[in-house]
């Protein structure tokens, strides 16, 4: 089969790779209909992780069940399914508590597994024609039959639940104000979630005008960080600060000139969020970053403004999203027309053009907000 393979920094190509197949009786084989390129893939693409060469990438997958193992009972051949990016066993101490992003059995090297991702276990990704899905009964989210809402449902594997998770981690209540850093796909999904969850006002901070325009279209208030200090703008707009903050940027945060400052967003959030307010961090930070610019950051250590954070009595939640906690409810919001995450899709490409898609999306070129790949096209 064909799959998108990582060969080294800025080098990916669609190659012949070993066919995905049933390996355990609890597996399903899924024919991929849509697989998305994620901002998380770009950390690997840019050589900022320890992902091995030869890995098939792709953790945002949906498709049709082609075959099931003998021990699969709920999921049927022909089902249309969304696959959470987390691979979870369903029965370990963390999975039974709903912490499927931290499954203790799926990844031999630590807590939490994913398809096609650095340090997240030996699993091939789904930017390919077919995908092996372990513990299929637990991991497959069944979607309504047919092909309605394809571009909405494809956001259920990661970024819509992750954006929602950021708002949850911030502990936002209806009627509160919230500011979201990053108008990339994850930040835009946080903004969409905050609006659905009745934020009084949701601000989105970025320096990319095309992405800020989308934020405005979905009812959020854009804050252009290239036009002045984001914290000062927010303080002025709110008359004192926001109740909640979400980091949807992560460790490759940079100032509008492009200079990377891994602690920039975290410290701006601490400054902009009111005393006792909450902060949700879904932008990724890593324990090892060999490509970082200083010695501390190479070990994932940042100059975080902990003194201010403590003095303001703020709280913070972090980490990978437990996708399965949210995906069924978010599917139903889509089905009922209450959510429309497809608004951010800018490009639909055949799998054969995936390398091109990576290159444009990585440069955050104007208008390249979210790329979805169609392996069958």
Ligand X SMILES: NC(=O)c1ccc[n+]([C@@H]2O[C@H](COP(=O)([O-])OP(=O)(O)OC[C@H]3O[C@@H](n4cnc5c(N)ncnc54)[C@H](O)[C@@H]3O)[C@@H](O)[C@H]2O)c1
Footprint on this chain of Zn ion (rule: CB under 5 A):
38, 40, 60, 88-89, 92, 95, 103, 105, 158
156 near ligand X, rule: CB under 6 A: no
Task: Tell me which of 27, 79, 129, 206 binds ligand X, using CB under 6 A.
Answer: 206
C-beta of 169: minimal distance to ligand X in Å?
A: 9
Instruction: Please identify, using beta-carbon distances, which residue of 89 and 316 lies nearer to Zn ion.
Output: 89
Task: Tell me which of 32, 118, 179, 249 binds ligand X, using CB under 6 A.
Answer: 249
Task: Tell me which of 82, 100, 127, 162 binds ligand X, using CB under 6 A.
Answer: 162
C-beta of 195: minimal distance to ligand X in Å?
A: 17
- The listed partner (Zn ion, ligand X, none) that binds 357, CB under 5 to 8 Å by sort, is none
Instruction: Please identify, using beta-carbon distances, which residue of 43 and 274 lies nearer to Zn ion.
Output: 43
- Nearest residue to 312 (alpha-carbon basis) of 368, 270, 254, 359: 270
> x/- binding map, residues 90-119, to ligand X, per CB under 6 A?
------------------------------
Q: Which two tokens stand for residue 119?
A: 């340090």
314 near ligand X, rule: CB under 6 A: no
Burial class (CB in 10 A: 0-12, 13-18, 19+), 295: exposed
- Report in angstroms the alpha-carbon separations of 279 from 20, 94, 181, 205, 269: 40, 23, 11, 15, 7
DSSP line for 10-77: TEEEEEE-PPP---STT-EEEEEEEEEE-HHHHHHHTT-S-PPTTPBP--EEEEEEEEE-TT--SS-T
Task: Tell me which of 12, 20, 30, 39 binds ligand X, using CB under 6 A.
Answer: 39
Instruction: Please identify, using beta-carbon distances, which residue of 72 and 191 lies nearer to ligand X.
Output: 191
- Nearest residue to 265 (alpha-carbon basis) of 250, 286, 285, 280: 250
Task: Tell me which of 30, 62, 156, 264 binds ligand X, using CB under 6 A.
Answer: 264
List of residues 6+ apart from 148 with CB closer than 8 A: none
Largest CA distance in the chain: 61
> x/- binding map, residues 353-372, to ligand X, per CB under 6 A?
-----------x--------
Instruction: Please identify, using beta-carbon distances, which residue of 278 and 283 lies nearer to ligand X.
Output: 283
E strands, the chain, in order: 2-8, 11-16, 28-37, 60-68, 80-83, 86-87, 113-114, 130-133, 141-142, 177-181, 201-206, 221-224, 242-247, 273-281, 315-318, 347-350, 371-374
How many residues of this chain bind ligand X (CB under 6 A)? Answer: 34
- The listed partner (ligand X, Zn ion, none) that binds 277, CB under 5 to 8 Å by sort, is none
CA distance 157 to 163: 12
Instruction: Please identify, using beta-carbon distances, which residue of 68 and 103 lies nearer to ligand X.
Output: 103
Residue ranges that bind ligand X, judged by CB under 6 A: 38-40, 42-43, 158-159, 162, 181-187, 205-208, 211, 225, 248-250, 253-254, 264-265, 282-284, 320-321, 364
């Amino acid at each position: 089969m064909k799959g998108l393979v990582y060969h080294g920094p800025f080098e990916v190509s669609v190659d012949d790779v070993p066919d995905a197949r049933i390996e355990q009786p609890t597996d399903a084989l899924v024919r991929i209909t849509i697989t998305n390129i994620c901002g998380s893939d770009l950390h690997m693409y840019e050589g900022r992780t320890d992902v091995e060469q030869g890995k098939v990438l792709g953790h945002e997958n949906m498709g049709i069940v082609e075959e099931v193992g003998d021990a699969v009972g709920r999921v049927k051949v022909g089902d249309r399914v969304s696959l959470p990016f987390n691979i979870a066993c369903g029965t370990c101490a963390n999975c039974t508590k709903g912490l499927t992003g931290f499954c203790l059995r799926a990844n031999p090297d630590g807590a939490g597994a994913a398809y096609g991702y650095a340090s997240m276990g030996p699993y091939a990704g789904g930017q390919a024609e077919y995908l092996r899905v372990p513990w299929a009964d637990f991991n497959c989210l069944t979607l309504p039959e047919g092909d309605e809402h394809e571009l909405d449902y494809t956001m259920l594997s990661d970024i819509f639940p992750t954006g929602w998770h950021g708002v949850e981690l911030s502990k936002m209540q209806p009627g509160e104000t919230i500011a979201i850093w990053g108008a990339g796909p994850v930040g835009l999904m946080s903004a969409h979630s905050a609006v659905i969850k009745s934020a009084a006002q949701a601000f989105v901070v970025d320096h990319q005008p095309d992405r800020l325009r989308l934020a405005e279209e979905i009812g959020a208030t854009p804050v252009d960080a290239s036009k002045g200090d984001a914290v000062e703008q927010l303080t002025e707009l709110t008359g004192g600060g926001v109740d909640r903050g979400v980091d949807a940027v992560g460790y490759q945060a940079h100032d509008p000139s492009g200079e990377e400052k891994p602690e920039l967003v975290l410290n701006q959030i601490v400054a902009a969020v009111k005393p006792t307010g909450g902060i949700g961090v879904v932008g990724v930070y890593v324990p090892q970053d060999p490509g970082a610019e200083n010695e501390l950051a190479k070990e994932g250590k940042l100059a975080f403004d902990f003194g201010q954070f403590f003095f303001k009595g703020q709280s913070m939640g972090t980490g990978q999203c437990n996708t399965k906690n949210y995906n069924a409810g978010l599917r139903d919001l889509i089905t009922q027309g209450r959510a429309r995450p497809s608004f951010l899709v800018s490009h639909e490409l055949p799998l054969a053009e995936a390398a091109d898609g990576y290159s444009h999306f990585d440069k955050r070129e104007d208008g390249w907000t979210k790329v979805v790949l169609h392996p069958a096209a």
